[in-house]
Amino acid sequence: MRPVGHCEFLSFLRPNCSSCIVGTLPLEKPPVSQPRTIPQIPSGDAYRRGRISFVGSEVALLAGLQNHEPGAQAAFFDTYERDVRKVLVRILGTTPDVADALQDTFLRAFKSALQVKDALALRGWVLRVAVSVAIDHLRRRQRLRWLVFSNEASVDVPVDGVTPELRAALRDTYRVLDKLPNEERIAFALRHIDEMELAEIADACSVSLATIKRRLSRAELRFRTLARRQPGLVDWVGAEGAR
């Protein structure tokens, strides 16, 4: 896989464009699932007091989660926190509620760990939980906007090392995403911002591959149409993007 510095997720608007726009994390494809050992992992204040640690296989990790063992919960969080945070940021944007969504995701996962039957499916399962939590936060955000009679969310853009033009494009991208139906927004964000494979997106959304393809097609069309109304995206949507 080619190295990625900033995600080129608007290149689908202009196929020949090599400019980059967002993402300070390398967007690596997930490794193929196989049994492995979870190293001993520290966790927060409790670990610093020398009380919590965990070492064992993914099977042992799942058993520990299902038994509500603090060490297993700590190891689970530290193993999958990066993947979960990345998905939440791509869907919600770099907004303050990402931290709340991250906490909600792991609390919900800890409570429902008995649903998991295959230890090798832990990553896919927690990403499904993250998508569900993200939908809840999007709905809450929409209700709050209705209450304050506002049509736009506040999107912080703390992206270092990019030009003001790219920063504006990122901000306007999330303004456009705020106007998409939640299901289409998630499909678009996970495909074009997080660069997930379609099959993985379908699994994270608990739908079929055909359904994800339909959602993504609608999202891309809607995104192109709405992007033309955003100053920061005008240069990205030209004759090629209108096709």
Q: What φ, ψ does residue 67 adopt, rounded to 5°?
A: -100, 5
Q: How far apart are CA 46 and CA 35, in angstroms?
A: 28
Q: Give the predicted TM-score (pTM) of the model.
A: 0.71
Identify which has the larger pLDDT, 239 or 211. 211
- The residue extents of the domains of the chain are 35-150, 158-243
Please report the DSSP string for 141-200 in residue order: HHHHHHHTT-S----B---TT--HHHHHHHHHHHHHHTTS-HHHHHHHIIIIIS---HHH
Q: Encoding tokens for residue 222?
A: 């809607």
CATH fold of 158-243 = Arc Repressor Mutant, subunit A (1.10.10)
Tokens encoding 160 = 């270092």
For domain 35-150, give the fold: Rna Polymerase Sigma Factor; Chain: A (1.10.1740)
39 secondary structure, DSSP code: P
Are both 35-150 and 158-243 of the same fold?
no
Instruction: Work out the pLDDT band at 241, boundaries 50, 70, 90.
Output: very low
What's the CA gap between 74 and 77, in Å, rounded? Answer: 5
Least confident residue range of 83-87, 120-124, 142-146, 154-158: 154-158
Lowest-confidence segment of 116-120, 152-156, 229-233 by average pLDDT: 152-156
